Amino acid sequence: MTRRWSPAWLFTASALLLGGSILLALGWGSVAIPWGAIPSLFRQWVSGAPLSPPAMVLWEIRLPRILLAGLIGGVLAVVGASLQALLRNALADPYVLGVSSGAALGAVVGGLISHSLHEANLVLFLWAFGGSLLTLFILYRIASVHGLLPVQTLLLAGVVINAIFSALVLFAVAMVEPSRLFGLLSWLMGSIGSADYRIVGLLFVYSLAGLLFLIGKAEQLNLLTLGDESAQSLGVEPERLKRLVFVVTALLTGAVVSLSGMIGFIGMMVPHALRLLVGPDHRVLLPAAAVVGAAFLILADLLARSLLAPTELPVGVITALLGGPFFLVLLWQRRQGAIVSE
């Protein structure tokens, strides 16, 4: 018998997890702020009075960064889950397909041209967006056979494109003056830098639209995991759905990569873990992945900025170190389960 968490319990638990992560990340940092002081500092912020230094740290530095991390984590987890359904492979994510490195290459080239590397701005976003769209176009031209997208060809093309684009990124990095190298490398390895509310607000609207689109397609994604012919004989146009989901995930990836570089493992791990808890129905899985992915990256970013404080680690390092072993354990447990049930 498959035991699963009920959706109500799941969303209560993940909302608590997200709320807890935000509170934890608010209070924790190089400037210690007792949690008891947060309400009064909040009133100070809302009242519009001049901010005291702790309030400044809390509301002008920490909160936007926490919100940005949450948005990026949620987007990555949902994009991963959607691509896994699209490719019928629990290991797929934007990195495997090369969409992330395409976006990164775009951002690096854009940064070199505009001399504004690792600062979140519209120029970088547009370049990263262009990079992920270009990757998408190349992938599609290479992998599509008579209008169809066979999964193996697609994955293989993704791996090769990833290798080429990563090499090009390193090529571009070699041309950067040494003083800017550290910032660039840290961005490439995935880091949530400074954030402001304007960017957070824009990303929120942008990713909410993308997430709602994907969540709206949830049941059709369920059918797609049974294969193109099953989907089609149950009234879903597989190729059209794939194209739409592909474009939307590339758009989301482009935005996220331009802001935070290449943060790995969330798109692969969060949906995988959630599937073990709540099953594979995307109507539950996608919203849950958004919330849990957000909590996960907030906590990972908290670790990244406090482990070696005052030095900051790239959060991509943390997600890989946390996500990798966790993923292996899940895989191992699932294998045990599979052997027992056979």
Partner 1 sequence: MSVNELMEQTRAGYQLENVGFRYPGRTEWAVRELTLAITPGDVVGIIGPNGSGKSTLLKLLAGLLRPQQGAVQLDGRLLGHYTIRALAQRVAVVPQSVQFVFPFTVREIVGMGRLPHRAARSDWWRGWRPERPADRGAVQDALSGMELEPVADRSILELSGGERQKVLLARSLAQQPSILLLDEPTAALDWHHQSVVYRRARALNQEQGVTVVLVSHDLNLAALFARRLVLLDRGRVRRVGTPDEVLTQAELDALYAQAVVVDRHPSADAPRVTLRP
132 interacts with partner 1 by CB under 8 A: no
127: burial class by Cβ within 10 Å (0-12, 13-18, 19+)?
A: buried
275 interacts with partner 1 by CB under 8 A: yes
Phi-psi region of 97 (alpha: psi -120 to 50; beta: other; left: phi over 0): alpha
Q: Residues 235 to 254: which contact partner 1 by CB under 8 A?
A: 235-237
Q: Find the binder of partner 1 among 52, 152, 230, 336 (CB under 8 A).
A: 230
* Pick 54 or 280: Cβ nearer partner 1: 280
Q: How far is the CB of 76 from partner 1 (least distance, A)?
A: 20
* Pick 8 or 46: Cβ nearer partner 1: 8
* Pick 149 or 317: Cβ nearer partner 1: 149
Lookup result for tokens 């997208």 = 149
- Contacting range for partner 1; rule: CB under 8 A; set: 27-35, 36-44, 161-169, 231-239: 231-239
Let me know: does 128 contact 104? Beta carbons within 8 Å: yes
Let me know: does 315 contact 191? Beta carbons within 8 Å: yes
* Pick 85 or 303: Cβ nearer partner 1: 85
30 interacts with partner 1 by CB under 8 A: no
Could you write out the three-class secondary structure of 152-168? HHHHHHHHHHHHHHHHH
* Pick 5 or 28: Cβ nearer partner 1: 5
229 interacts with partner 1 by CB under 8 A: yes
Per the DSSP assignment, residues forming a β-bridge with 46 are none
220 interacts with partner 1 by CB under 8 A: yes
- Contacting range for partner 1; rule: CB under 8 A; set: 23-31, 99-107, 185-193, 226-234: 226-234
82 interacts with partner 1 by CB under 8 A: no
- List the one residue out of 223, 326, 234 whose CA is nearest residue 272: 326
201 interacts with partner 1 by CB under 8 A: no
CA pair distance 191, 259, nearest whole angstrom: 8
- List the one residue out of 216, 241, 247, 250 whose CA is nearest residue 75: 250
1 interacts with partner 1 by CB under 8 A: yes
CA triple 169-183-56, angle to 5 deg: 140
Residue type, 255: A
**How far is C-alpha 314 from the geometric centre of its chain's CA atoms?**
15
Q: How far is the CB of 229 from partner 1 (least distance, A)?
A: 6
* Pick 223 or 262: Cβ nearer partner 1: 223
What token pair was written down for 1? 């018998």
Q: How far is the CB of 144 from partner 1 (least distance, A)?
A: 12
Q: Find the binder of partner 1 among 88, 150, 332, 333 (CB under 8 A).
A: 88
CA pair distance 185, 101, nearest whole angstrom: 13
Q: Find the binder of partner 1 among 191, 222, 258, 319 (CB under 8 A).
A: 222
219 interacts with partner 1 by CB under 8 A: yes
Let me know: does 233 contact 46? Beta carbons within 8 Å: no
Crossing angle, helix 282-306 and helix 266-278, to 10 degrees?
A: 130
Q: Which residues bind partner 1 (CB under 8 A)?
A: 1-2, 85, 88-90, 145-146, 216-220, 222-223, 225-227, 229-230, 232-237, 275, 279-281, 283, 338, 341-342
